[in-house]
Structure 1
Amino acid sequence: MLEELTITNYALIESLTVPFTEGLNILSGETGAGKSIIVGALSLILGGKGDPSLIRTGTEEAVVTATIRLPENGGALLYLQEKDIADDDGYIIIRRVLKRSGRGAIYVQSVPMARQDLVDLTSSLFDMHGQHSHQSLLNIEQHRKLLDSYAGITADVEELKTLFTALSSLKKEYEDLKKSEREILVEQDMLRHALREIDAADLKPGEEEDLAQEKKLLLQHENLMELFDGISGQLSSVEGGALLQLRKTREMLGKLSALTKEAEPLSGRLDNAFFEIEDIFETLGAMKEGIDFSPSRLEECEERLQTIRRLEKKYGDSIEQVWEYRQEAERKLHLYESREEEAARLEEKIASSEKKVLGKAAEISKTRKIQSQELENEILSGLKHLGMEKASFLVNVSGKETPSGRQSCGPAGMDVVEFMISPNQGEPVKPLKKIASGGELSRIMLSIKTVLADSDSISTLVFDEIDSGIGGEIGLAVGEYLARLGNSKQILCITHLASIAVRADNHIKVDKVVQGGRTFTGIKVITGEDRVTEIARMLSGDTAGTASIEHARELLKKYS
């Protein structure tokens, strides 16, 4: 749910924060006040294209920020998790920046995001209808999803997708197996060569690291010997080495201990130090003896390392990966060598999998065709209430076909679902995108969304042109449907009709004022007498008179 929209330096808006609530949010105001500017700013939050020409004159950038409360367990939360973006206790902040000097920026929770990613994120949260079109209703794939949601078969379609993925995997394995004989023979030769090469090398785990260390020691042999000799000399030199000095000191401390018992512990500690240093001296000697330097051994190490690294370059980044490649090569060879038997096994599995896929797809298709008629009737009933009495509406469910004319089945089934309409009596139905105006599309979507209110996951609907070309009883019906839909969804609606505005749970009046020679758009959440005055203005089309004030009070009393 959209909780707040803050707009800075966008078109006529210098700085504005618009609060939204659950239920039906109405934006009203005189023509040109800036209602559609607010919706246009929201379209930027939904990933709409930014137009630098809309940056307010005299400024270099426009900023739009939205605070959104996410539905629990919704697609948006999963999408954010995939992008490794953390929500803030169920809330996110989206910020869109337009720059006059060039490319703007998008941030979700202060993390930069590409515009298409923003579209993907917000498409599960918002559905916009009007001049800032984000109309999912024009997307034919959405028609299938809406029908499936209405029919209660979304889980069945997900199951079909899983079955279809398994079938595709089997077919891919079969295609790999049935490569041309020539390709197989070439690949077999390559695999056998790889096995011979890897086996001949007889690689050992950890060998590369051990050889690298040995090579390093061999290359530093002269330095090592100098260090060993230097340390040994410091410890054992007859001209003042540490061990000699310690022996003399032990003798002297022994004499001191004979004279005073207080020195006896010191004598023991010095003995321990002497024996420890003596042990170090002997260990260093053993280490020196253990280093067997020979130029030929250095050459052997280098050649062995070259062999290992050549194999790693061809077959993997480490000895472990080279062995993994070997195992996979052996598996493939075995597969090729027994490919006829394997092909027969795969053909059997594919046939069984296809049967499951087609069976599930046929079951889904049958349900779609039955439920499409129910959905047609409910939507058509809604359209008649919304002033489209002469309209015809069809949920067309047709089969997919391959280029050769055979029935085709995809991950979502064997059907193409498309909503078609004829707004006028006697005219044939046509696809929505070819025939419906903005206002008609909004009313069609209102009817559909009302029917699907409990099963549709989108939580916020935005209507910019829903009252286009209507009034009177139709306006009352549209207001009734919006209010009903507002019981389960958040609705944002721009309207000029009092019959719609009186249904608002949150009524926002948009004004335009001129100060210091500049025009500014402002808003005010109106209640009480302010709302009565605004409804009266909408009724009269001008300054509210006594009659329109009374009429406004009656409407508000009846519908709010």
Structure 2
Amino acid sequence: MLEELSVRNFALVDSLTLGFENGFSVLTGETGAGKSIIVGSISFLLGAKADAEVIRSGCDEAAVSAVVTVAPQNRDALGWLASRDIAADDGSVIVRRAVKSSGRSSIYIQNVPVTRGDLAEFMALLFDLHGQHTHETLLHKETHRKYLDRFAGLEDEALAFNKVFMELSDKRKALESSLSSERDRDARLEILNYGVDEVTKANPKPGEIKELETEAQRLGDFEKLSLQVNSAAEAFFDGEASLLSLARHTRTGMDNAASIDASLQPLLKRMEDLFYEAEDLAGEFRSYRDSLSYDPQRLEEVEDRLALLHKLKKKYVPSGARENAGAEESLLTWKTEAEAEIEALTGAEENRDKLRGEISALEKSIASRASALSAKRIEGAKKLGRGISSILSRLGMPNAKFEASVTAKMSERASLLCGPWGADDVEFLISANAGEPLKELARIASGGELSRVMLAIKTVLAGEAKGEAASDANAETLIFDEIDTGIGGEVALSVGEYLAQIGKGKQIFCVTHLASIAVRADNHLKVEKRVIAGEGGGRTVTGVSLLKPGERRQEIARMLAGEGGAAALAHADELLAKYGRS
């Protein structure tokens, strides 16, 4: 239940802290006083979408926090907290949500930061909010199946069915894709096999292209290379005045000079090093010159090999890799990938047979699951219909008959048709008056009737349908925003009586304009605007106060007649005496 609510800088609310009791509480006030703001702040705390527009003008941040109590029997909520290592303090949990003018928000449950999705998931286990326009969703047939599954405790089973259905759908698509591409398989295999054979025969080696290009250049320019090498050899070691001869002669002279002047020994050492290095270099250069030979046949082989590798590279290597040094590796990678594709295509029929088997097994599972779901929905629909009809009789519709119709989906060929959530069409039907046939909810003309149907559905889902409670009856607090739309007179008295009755087991909040509902409340809160003096004419703020008996009398009179005259006060006294809670 909601123990305490604190609102700061939210819309017209400056700062507000309210404590709440169990039972049935009403919020009343003049039209435009800000009742919707209070409901909006609670909705904000329940995880509704919100942006910086909710921040009070001139402020940087709006914040709403609450102290909520989790009942010991609410195992889902306690399990949710335990799974996230969040501990309740003697059953109490502090929930905070804030949004800044920048649009950034923060959400905490017991000082543990959570996402908006987490907040909505947790608070849904404690609160059920019925807003002014919630009943519009009741007109959409696709929501009826969700309501029935929730009442019958079939939500998890329906989700499991949906998972299997989606798996079946994916496998059917995979099989269809495989079959549609079968005609292209042979052509693709022929191309891949030919390419793999080409690359295998060529047997490229990493770095081979660069090596071949270097050898081709050497063989192609052999005459020029030979001329330059012979010229260098003559200058280095072949000629009478070659560099090596001069170095040998200089070394001998330095040796003689150092024997006369010992200070030349370091220079002699360096000269000897230079001579030995030149002699070693000359030996290697001589070997290179002697190895030079022109082989026109080798040149032709190199050019042919290069042409083959360039052709394969252009044919099979992606354009972005053709200029890279690792083009041969890319060619080998293509071969590996092509071989894998060949294997996959060769085993396509085997894979199709496997898919067919899996599809057949899933179809049997779907049929079995759909049949089980249908049986449970039909049984749940009977209980839901009885529960809602019973509640409607207490809400001024004694002759109303409500039915949750569950019929099999049928194809154009009159065969059973499964959808993502089963093989059932679920639709809520109602006969509001004796002798009238059952009709779709969308054809109900009275907004008051529709509001009462939604009230009945909300309370039966919360576990208040004469013992035929939903298995997920966790919501400890029910909030109804103007559930009295389109009703009055005796019907309003019935609605007030019913809300007071379910308030014995649940915490109920109801925003209402009707005195006949307000007098039934255990707690009466009044929402009103006031202007705080200040520059520019002051500022408007919304406030909420818990009414004392005398104040409540005045508010009931205002709701009856718009003012607190003697007649209105007398009528208020009469209603409070007859229907008020002691």
Q: Name the structure 1 match of 2:511.
A: 494
Hey, what's the Cα distance between the residues in 1 that align with 2:123 and 2:446?
Answer: 24
Alignment map for 1:120-131 (pairs within 5 Å): 126-131=127-132
Distance in 1 between residues matched to 2:492 and 2:381, nearest whole Å: 28
Amino acid at match of 2:422: G
Equivalence map 1:145-544=2 (5 Å)? 145-185=146-186, 306=326, 310=330, 330=340, 334=343, 336-389=345-398, 391-401=400-410, 406-421=415-430, 423=432, 430-433=439-442, 435=444, 439-454=448-463, 455=470, 456=472, 459=475, 460-486=477-503, 489-516=506-533, 518-526=539-547, 530-531=551-552, 534=555, 538=559, 542-543=563-564
What is the rounded CA distance, in whole Å, between the counterparts of 1:474 and 1:465 in structure 2?
A: 14
- Partner SS for 1:33: coil
2:422 match: secondary structure: coil
Aligned amino acid, residue 95 of structure 1: A
Verify the 8 A CA contact 1:9 1:59 in the aligned structure 2: no
TM-score normalized by the length of structure 2: 0.59
What is the CA distance between 1:74 and its match in structure 2? Answer: 4.5
In structure 2, the residue corresponding to 1:413 is in which secondary structure?
coil
Relative to structure 1, the CA distance from residue 499 to residue 370 in structure 2 (aligned partners, 3 Å threshold; closer, same or farther) is same
- How far has the Cα of 1:466 moved from its partner? 1.6
Q: TM-score, normalised by structure 1?
A: 0.61
Distance 1:201-1:126 versus aligned 2 partners, 3 A rule: farther
Q: Is the 8 A contact 2:63 2:96 kept in 1?
A: no
Partner deviation per Cα, 1:53-80 (whole Å, 9 max, x = no partner): 8765x63667252437496665898799
Distance 1:430 1:525 in 2: 43
CA RMSD of aligned residues (A): 5.0
Call closer, same or farther: CA 1:92–1:437 in 2, change over 3 Å.
farther
One-letter amino acid of the structure 2 residue matched with residue 137 of structure 1: L
Instruction: Answer yes or no: is the 8 Å Cα contact 2:524–2:546 preserved in 1.
Output: yes
AA in 2 matched with 1:26:
V
Aligned partners of 1:401 and 1:361: how far apart in 2? Answer: 13
Aligned equivalents of 1:80 and 1:63: distance in 2?
A: 29
Counterpart amino acid of 1:509?
K
SS at match of 1:396: strand
- Partners of 2:443 and 2:196 lie apart in 1 by 60
Aligned residue number for residue 66 of structure 2: 67
8 Å CA contact 2:61–2:98 kept in 1: the answer is: no
The corresponding residue for 2:138 is 137
Identity of aligned residues (%): 40
By how many angstroms is 1:494 displaced?
0.7
Unmatched segments (≥5 aa) in structure 1: 204-302, 316-321
Compute the displacement of 1:157 (Å): 2.8
Partner of 2:58, secondary structure, is coil
5+ long unaligned stretches in structure 2: 207-322, 464-469
* Distance in 1 between residues matched to 2:156 and 2:438, nearest whole Å: 31
Deviations 1:124-169 (A, max 9, x none): 6654334354865345443212212333444543443354345345
Map of 1:93 onto structure 2: 96
Paired AA for residue 416 in structure 1 = D
Distance 1:439 1:450 in 2: 17
Corresponding residue for residue 13 of structure 2: 13
Distance 2:333 2:106 in 1: 41
CA contact 2:429–2:439 (8 Å) conserved in 1: yes
Aligned residues: 439
Q: Distance in 1 between matches of 2:370 and 2:131?
A: 36
Post-superposition offset of 1:405: 6.3
**Cα deviation per residue 1:434-484 (whole Å; 9 max; x = unaligned)?**
646654433212212332323245624321222234345433432333244
Distance 1:149 1:343 in 2: 39
| Structure-1 separation of matches of 2:393 and 2:187 | 69
Deviations 1:518-542 (A, max 9, x none): 5432111345655566556656764
What is the CA-CA distance between 1:493 and the residue it aligns to? Answer: 0.9
Residues 554 and 569, structure 2, Cα contact 8 Å, conserved in 1: no
Query: Which amino acid is 1:450 matched to?
Result: T
Change (3 A) 1:119 1:141: farther
Deviation at 1:173, TM superposition (A): 4.7
